[in-house]
Amino acid sequence: MQLEYVGAFRIILGVIAQFWPVWLAIAVILGLSFAYKKRLGLYGQLFDNGVGIAGVSICLFWLFTAIFADTVAPFAPLDQLFVMKNAFPGAIEPESGKIFLFGGDRLARDVFSRMVYGSQIVLIIAPAATLFALMVGTTLGLPAGYYGGRVDTILSFLANLVLAFPVILLFYLLVTPGIMDTPIPYAMAGVFFLFPIIFFCTLFYTRFKSRPQLLVVQLVLTVLIGGWVYLGLVFDADPFGIISIEPNELNIFVAVVFASSPGVFRIVRGLVMDIKTRDYVAAAQTRGENPWYIMLWEVLPNARGPLIVDICLRIGYTTILLGTLGYFGLGLAPESPDWGTGIKESSRLLRAFVHPALPPVFALMSFVLGLNLLADALREESLKD
């Protein structure tokens, strides 16, 4: 069947039109941010320079793309319309009259829709895994930097042991399909996912131990919510059926946390070793405060600037890593619409069909660029403080 095509101008207008809920959401958020930037602390200060505005805008674009993916994408990511196999950008699907804005891939799926749905995978796995790595690295880095001595020696040795292993090889071993049939990923997940519960229980206990009624409420909520998430992620036993994760996604999640935690540990350890010499820490020690209270409520808040910058950069690194794993066919399912898998599928056709590879490449590149710009702006603002 001979396909009909629209021109480049119609393609551009079509892409802009498909993202209408994203543009609307960005306009609302940016408008409110500019109006109340003086009340928004560090986030509000980002709008004082162009780099911060660009970084926030790009990150918001992909965030709202993931949220509104069902509205933005004209087709489901796995829909195969065989007449559209390797269709060029602007091809009109005969039955529905909808346009394949970026063309079709070798399995006759809409490249534009797969790029849009791929943002959901990146926006879920990369930030979540980075936050878990932050929890693990912070929980271990605080006592290592504060106590020093044997505690620091043991924890630093373990961190350096992981860092000394080649990252790509480490990920290859952790996400290779054969390991999914072993208890290793679930055992590692069982350990790593305990750290947020331990962290918040310790945080609330050190702060509110003199107010037992409030403390009990906070600890019960932490254990209940943390246990609910823990059951869903580790054992796939969420009684409400809301929280779950596929085994291949769990592998990637655990691999990212395992590989990223030592880097966070070293940053936190170094910051604590510097901050613990400050006068306000000595004042807290003089008052007889518990060491964990000092670490969590005196030291950690004053280390937030570098940690926030590191989180932004680390999410970008994780995004690139997910793309690399997808390109090599590791971790995620072969039919996954993630950007790395999209690039791999399209690379087989690059000599004849370039268009399927370009959207996921530019999507991955732009999201990482936005995170780097955001990190640069945050670094500049934190230095001012």
Domain membership of residue 18 (yes or no) is yes
Q: Tell me: do 184 and 310 sit in the same domain.
A: yes
Q: Tell me: do 174 and 76 sit in the same domain.
A: no
End-to-end Cα spacing for the chain: 64
Q: Tell me: do 314 and 259 sit in the same domain.
A: yes
Place of tokens 């690039």: 343
Q: Helices 304-327 and 339-347 sit at what angle, rounded to 10 degrees?
A: 30
The predicted pLDDT at position 354 comes to: 62
Per-residue pLDDT tens over the stretch 184-197: 778 888 899 999 99
Angle at Cα 76 formed by Cα 74 and Cα 81, nearest 5°?
A: 90
| Amino acid found at 344 | K
Determine the 3-state secondary structure of 9 from DSSP.
helix
Please enumerate in sequence order all residues whose Cβ is within 8 A of that of 92, keeping only pairs 6 or more positions apart, or say none. Answer: 3, 4, 5, 6, 98, 99, 100
Domain membership of residue 191 (yes or no) is yes
Domain membership of residue 333 (yes or no) is no
SS (H, E, C) 159-204: HHHHHCCCHHHHHHHHHCHHHHHCCHHHHHHHHHCCHHHHHHHHHH
* Domain stops at, among 319, 349, 367: 319
Q: Tell me: do 156 and 239 sit in the same domain.
A: yes
Among 123, 127, 121, 111, residue whose Cα is nearest residue 362: 111
Please enumerate in sequence order all residues whose Cβ is within 8 A of that of 140, keeping only pairs 6 or more positions apart, or say none. Answer: 155, 159, 261, 265, 268
Q: Tell me: do 235 and 305 sit in the same domain.
A: yes
pTM of the entire structure? Answer: 0.88
CB atoms within 10 A of CB 160: 12
Tell me how many domains the chain contains.
2
DSSP characters over 120-147: HHHHHHHHHHHHHHHHHHHHHHHHHHHH
Distance (Å, whole) CA 196 – CA 230: 10
Q: Tell me: do 153 and 49 sit in the same domain.
A: no
Q: Tell me: do 141 and 289 sit in the same domain.
A: yes
Distance (Å, whole) CA 52 – CA 308: 14
Domain membership of residue 330 (yes or no) is no
Domain membership of residue 209 (yes or no) is yes
Quote the domain boundaries for residue 369: 8-117+339-384
The predicted pLDDT at position 54 comes to: 94
Q: Tell me: do 274 and 201 sit in the same domain.
A: yes
Q: Tell me: do 263 and 190 sit in the same domain.
A: yes
Please enumerate in sequence order all residues whose Cβ is within 8 A of that of 298, keeping only pairs 6 or more positions apart, or say none. Answer: 280, 281, 284, 289
The predicted pLDDT at position 178 comes to: 65
Please enumerate in sequence order all residues whose Cβ is within 8 A of that of 375, keeping only pairs 6 or more positions apart, or say none. Answer: 55, 309, 312, 313, 316
Show the low-confidence residues of the chain (pLDDT under 50). Answer: none
The predicted pLDDT at position 70 comes to: 93
Domain membership of residue 92 (yes or no) is yes
Domain membership of residue 44 (yes or no) is yes
The predicted pLDDT at position 124 comes to: 86
The predicted pLDDT at position 194 comes to: 93
233 in Cβ contact with 245 (< 8 Å): yes
Tell me the CB-side half-sphere exposure of residue 258, using CA atoms within 13 A.
27
Q: Quick one: CA dihedral 205, 210, 212, 215, positive or negative? A: negative
Domain membership of residue 327 (yes or no) is no
CA 178 to chain centre: 25
The predicted pLDDT at position 92 comes to: 87
